[in-house]
Structure 1
Amino acid sequence: MLPADPGDARYSQWLLRWYDAHARDLPWRHKPGEPADPYRVWLSEIMLQQTTVATVRPRFAEFIARWPTVTALAATDDADLMGAWAGLGYYARARNLLACARQVVTAHGGVFPPEEAALRALPGIGDYTAAAIAAIAFGKRAVVIDGNVERVVARLFAIDTPLPAAKPIIRLLVDQITPMTRAGDFAQAMMDLGSGLCGPRVTQCLLCPLRTVCRAAAAGTPTAFPVKPRKSAKPQRYGTVFWLEHAGKILLVRRPDKGLLGGMRALPTGPWTDTAPGLEGAPDAAIDWQIAPDRVSHVFTHFTLELALAVGRAEGHSPPATGEWWAITSLDSAGLPTVFAKAARLGPRLGPRLGN
């Protein structure tokens, strides 16, 4: 029988008992009841934004090996950090990561503040991340809500208000079921439940510790929640990426600090527009550019992009003064964002078109 109200203590009791037995073993996570490292909690939370655990797990280990403390991270060069971040996407996170580390060192003596308000004042830390760090790293009672928690609570109480309008309702309910003690373990238990037994498309209700109090499960319709509005199609944009060779090297440029993929090394590209821009934005108009039949497709958060490849050789010309020349054989070490890494992987196929 369902409890009378979400204040029923059985929600947290049953969930924490399940978590103690089934918590995921993650490299940034402390065992239930043990102290946490705020630096690891913060780093993992930033890396996990819009990125899967499977992707983050090995990259987190690389970061910790290279920068074991927030002080070490704060001292690194911007370009080194941006290169190490390549492939994780949402590159504003990398810029904020470095800015946050430096502020923690300069303003807080290299120690993360434990209070949500102070955490929210740091670069790149919003409401969710501040609550997660406060609860998981410092044991504070905080309301921690990510996509997994939203899904679990929407099903637990069969919330029929579509997202995002349902967010205030979900927050109120999470607040009511969050215990005064072990709030960090409770938050991680909710995340584990959502990532494992209560997935977006597949549920394992018979194994769920909350199955007897879940209204969506009782109705036999768990995957009907949360209710989501119909998605609109993403805009399509087009551009040209320029593959310019010179003496076994390829021209790379540094993208502007502000904007999409800001501060990253990249192949030169023209504008991204609603129609194919041709050779607009070429790094050297005197080059005999050849448009290859290959296309690079990439999906960003708010639009999809199709890039044509313009191939050229700088021999016989004065190479452009801006940018840097990078050995083609070591392009993997340049830390290119995924969309440009896709284009760079076509390089060996482009050589014959240049008469190599």
Structure 2
Amino acid sequence: MNLPALHAALLGWFSVQRRDLPWRVTDEQGRRDPYRVWVSEVLLQQTQVVRGRVYFERFLTAFPTVQALASAPQEAVLKAWEGCGYYARARNLHRAAQQIVQSGLPSTYEGWRALPGVGPYTAAAVASLAFGEAQAVLDGNVRRVLSRLYAVEEPTPRWAQETADALLDSDHPGEWNEALMDLGATICTPANPRCAECPLSAQCAAFASGDPAQYPAPKKRAAVRQISAVALLIGTAQQAYLEPRTGALLGGLWGLPLEEVGPDEDEAAALLRLTARLGAATGRRLGTAQHSMTHRTLAVTVYAAEADLPLTPVVQRPLPRLDHKLLALDSADRVQPALF
């Protein structure tokens, strides 16, 4: 691999084709805000850039500085993160911000790694983009580019990281890392890579093979578990009885009272347990919402119900996307067809 030619080709392409993204803003000295870089990298771990821009602007409007984030209640942080999913990211951002306010803003890879929820990728991204440290990032886009450069069908994590480290332009680590990520996101895409537009095609072994899309080989997906559940809407879509969600995935959020249907029972049994727990009387069936989560697909049937329980304005609580779908069933049920 001709590294000087590789660096010149990719950085030259990036200087013209780099995407205009809100977290890439620099000050008059050309420096990046570490806080904005950090938030964006955490957000984009599980969120596409198109949606990520909207969520990023909303989150930065609510918490423009690390001090603002650290001093906010966790529920407010989760509300600002609403819709992004993978809420442990928001909880860890909050905890890390509080640690930064106490101990100071890290300026090194190791300093960022010591913060809650900051893994090797995020630490390398912030250290290189905001502080110019020679740390190579490795995300899905970079892994795919490296796999194709060397025509490796099944790149191991160790091989991918060692290769990323070896190719890093240590004089321009931040630009190099972003250029690789942009290349993977816009040109070296999973399907139908645009090799004719790629600045690295001259050194790309996958391109030379004539079938670049076969690299890397598809990962084996875990089986998706199908789950059925019932939920109760006590109140309306605007003001309802809500319960706190628990667990690592949705902890800190709120939602409609819900009961999973067991593998050897019907929906009626789960509904009976739920109504008995809440002392509720069920009314009409509002409908069923489908929702996909990591390795799980949920089908939740919602029933209107009445009970002597406190109602909360829904806009005041952070809700997962699933519960927004469930509440929307009430609005749809209230829409009456036009009479002609």
TM-score calculated relative to the size of structure 1: 0.86
Determine which structure has the larger helix proportion and give its number.
2
Compared CA separation, residues 116 and 286, structure 1 to 2 (3 A):
same
Task: Tell me what 1:100 maps to.
Answer: 96
Q: Deviations over 1:291-346 (max 9, x none)?
A: 626211111112111111122123xxxx23xxx5134xxx4564321011000111
Distance 1:186 1:255 in 2: 41
Compared CA separation, residues 266 and 283, structure 1 to 2 (3 A):
farther
1:349 CA drift (Å):
3.7
Distance 2:233 2:276 in 1: 10
Q: Deviations over 1:9-33 (max 9, x none)?
A: 2222211111111111000014699
Question: Structure 2 matches for 1:296-335, cutoff 5 A?
Answer: 296-314=289-307, 319-320=308-309, 325-327=311-313, 331=314, 334-335=317-318
Question: Structure 2 matches for 1:1-356, cutoff 5 A?
Answer: 5=1, 8-30=3-25, 34-108=30-104, 111=105, 113-161=106-154, 166-245=156-235, 249-256=239-246, 258-271=247-260, 273-274=262-263, 276=267, 278-279=270-271, 280-282=273-275, 284-290=277-283, 292=285, 294-314=287-307, 319-320=308-309, 325-327=311-313, 331=314, 334-350=317-333
CA-atom RMSD, angstroms?
A: 2.4
TM-score calculated relative to the size of structure 2: 0.90
1:60 CA drift (Å):
1.0
2:89 and 2:117 in contact (8 A); partners too? yes
Structure 2, unmatched stretches of 5+, are: none
1:73 and 1:98 in contact (8 A); partners too? yes
Distance 2:132 2:335 in 1: 61
Distance 2:237 2:220 in 1: 52
The percent of aligned pairs where both chains have the same amino acid is 34
SS in 2 for 1:311: strand
SS in 1 for 2:250: coil
Distance 1:74 1:212 in 2: 48
Distance 2:4 2:161 in 1: 17
Q: Deviations over 1:136-174 (max 9, x none)?
A: 11100002011100111111110022x5xx221111111
Distance 2:200 2:320 in 1: 41
Paired amino acid for 1:343: L
Paired amino acid for 1:307: V
1:158 and 1:216 in contact (8 A); partners too? yes
Distance 2:217 2:79 in 1: 39
SS in 1 for 2:331: helix
Compared CA separation, residues 337 and 290, structure 1 to 2 (3 A):
same
Question: How many aligned residue pairs are there?
Answer: 331
1:232 CA drift (Å):
3.8
1:267 and 1:340 in contact (8 A); partners too? yes
Distance 2:160 2:243 in 1: 45
Distance 1:76 1:93 in 2: 16
Compared CA separation, residues 306 and 216, structure 1 to 2 (3 A):
same
1:288 and 1:312 in contact (8 A); partners too? yes
1:284 CA drift (Å):
4.8
Distance 1:83 1:117 in 2: 30
Paired amino acid for 1:194: G
Structure 1, unmatched stretches of 5+, are: none
Paired amino acid for 1:180: S
Paired amino acid for 2:322: V
1:140 and 1:183 in contact (8 A); partners too? yes
